[in-house]
């Protein structure tokens, strides 16, 4: 199983999915970490400056067709992962990832290693109140 974690430095979890430039992908076999790799991640830095257009009245931020397309682009490099862990993200990105079949967890734990350890032990809560 592969777990993707968003990061800015390769060791700590980024607080915002859209802004993080990296994924740290942890491969687990038999409940143990067997490898780690860093992958580039598309994000706000990748897209046009005016990427956040005004939302249509009655439409939530992150749910318009453009946002959904950006979320898909951000997730392409982790299609082989079953889990994504982030410090925070928008509801639109969260639901886009879930539709792709990626279990998405939002945490306040800072260390990637500690977070993966907690996840594997079944002790990592999903703090959806951190979604915006």
Question: Which tens digit of pLDDT belongs to each residue from 9-30?
Answer: 999 999 999 899 999 999 999 9
Q: Give the tens place of pLDDT for each residue, 88-113.
A: 999 989 999 999 999 999 999 999 99
pLDDT of residue 60: 60
HSE-up of residue 63 (Cα within 13 Å, Cβ side): 10
**Per-residue pLDDT, 74:** 85
Which helix (H) or strand (E) covers residue 40, if one does?
Answer: strand 32-40
Q: Which two tokens stand for residue 106?
A: 């939002």
Domain spanning 2-46+61-130, CATH class = alpha beta
Q: Does the pLDDT of residue 64 top 80, yes or no?
A: no
**Are 48 and 66 contacting, i.e. CB atoms less than 8 angstroms apart?**
no
Contacts of 25 (CB under 8 A, 6+ apart): 2, 3, 4, 5, 36, 37, 38, 39, 78, 81
DSSP-assigned beta bridge partners for residue 36: 26
Q: What are the boundaries of each domain within the chain?
A: 2-46+61-130
């Amino acid at each position: 199983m592969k777990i993707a974690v968003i990061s800015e430095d390769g060791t700590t979890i980024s607080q915002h999915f859209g802004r993080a430039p990296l994924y740290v992908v942890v491969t687990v076999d038999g409940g143990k970490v067997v490898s780690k790799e860093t992958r580039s991640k598309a994000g706000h830095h990748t897209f046009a400056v005016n990427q956040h257009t005004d939302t249509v009245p009655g439409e939530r931020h992150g749910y318009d067709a453009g946002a959904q397309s950006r979320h898909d682009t951000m997730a392409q490099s982790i299609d082989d992962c079953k889990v994504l862990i982030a410090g925070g993200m928008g509801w639109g990105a969260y639901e886009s990832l879930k539709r792709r079949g990626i279990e998405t967890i939002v945490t306040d734990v800072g260390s990637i290693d500690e977070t993966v350890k907690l996840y594997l032990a079944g002790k990592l809560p999903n703090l959806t109140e951190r979604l915006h």
